[in-house]
Amino acid sequence: MKIIIAYLRFAYLLMMTFVMILLSYLIYPFANPRIWRSLVNRNWARLMLWGVGAKIEVNSKLNSEYIQPNTMFIQNHISWLDVLVLSSVHCASYVGKVEMLKWGFLKNIIISGGTVFIDRKNKRELILANQKIAAVLQGGWAMGLFPEGTTSDGKTVHPFHGSIFEAAIVSKSAIVPVSVRYRNYDGSLCSEVTFSKKKWMESVWNTLKMGGFVIKIDILSPVKAVDFPNRDAIASYTHKKVYEVYHSDLREDKVA
């Protein structure tokens, strides 16, 4: 039965992706970016999460406006679903590798989400990454960033790197820590969703075979980048906040 459900969910995700591809070619080039992202991107993210069997629980200290200008959302990174999770609640652009521009029909979906493209093989490009992020922030948009620098297996939140906060300091941005927790219905860690040490498609298939799970999104109180002495101080503060919430319900006896 699980296999049948997985195939049905996979077919649904393909269908929704096909619809989004059509919209990104037929409507996106002519649409107001704010309207496109508020209506299309947001609802597509919600429908995709529904399609994988996720129940969403949001606890937010932020106002309900979808587009938060000049805001840096700081997330822990666990799953292939992480971008969809925040996008279902607030608008955020993400950093992506420049190779994504060669992803055929998917290219327009990625562009329409406001992706900031970085050539990771070019050292000079990496230095300019903060300038590109700052430009997005100063343009009145929000960025979603993963300061751990890698995906975790869900058992903890790795230390945050301070370098990515340079753009927030330059742009005098608001910084919003976000804790994303994937849990089974019994409260235990949902390890199927992570792609740490797994192939991407393996993680997707493991997720689709599940009977359902809960995604807890805690959007914590915003702080101002200018209120910190340096970027390492911001990294330490945001990590502490995300770590505390993430581990608040993660009992050792429920970690596989």
Q: CATH no. for residue 143? A: 3.40.1130
pTM: 0.93
| Mean of per-residue pLDDT scores for the chain | 92
For residue 205, tell me if it sits in a domain.
yes
pLDDT for residue 253? 47
| Between 98 and 137, the higher pLDDT residue | 137
For residue 99, tell me if it sits in a domain.
yes
Average pLDDT over residues 8-16: 96
The boundaries of the domain holding residue 206 are 2-251
For residue 176, tell me if it sits in a domain.
yes
* Count: domains in the chain: 1
pLDDT tens for residues 36-70? 999 999 999 999 999 999 999 999 999 999 999 99
For residue 208, tell me if it sits in a domain.
yes
For residue 12, tell me if it sits in a domain.
yes
* Residue 94 pLDDT level (bands cut at 50, 70, 90): very high
Q: Is the pLDDT of residue 206 over 50?
A: yes
For residue 256, tell me if it sits in a domain.
no
* 122/5 Cα distance (integer angstroms): 43
Contact 103, 21 (CB under 8 A): no
pLDDT tens for residues 118-141? 887 777 766 788 999 999 999 999
Give the residue from 220, 73, 88, 224 showing the smallest Cα distance to 144. Answer: 73
For residue 209, tell me if it sits in a domain.
yes
> What string of DSSP letters covers 169-224?
HHHT-EEEEEEEEEE-TTS-B-GGGB-TTS-HHHHHHHHHTSS-EEEEEEEPPPEE
Give the residue from 94, 131, 129, 134 showing the smallest Cα distance to 114. Answer: 94
For residue 55, tell me if it sits in a domain.
yes
Contact 41, 88 (CB under 8 A): no
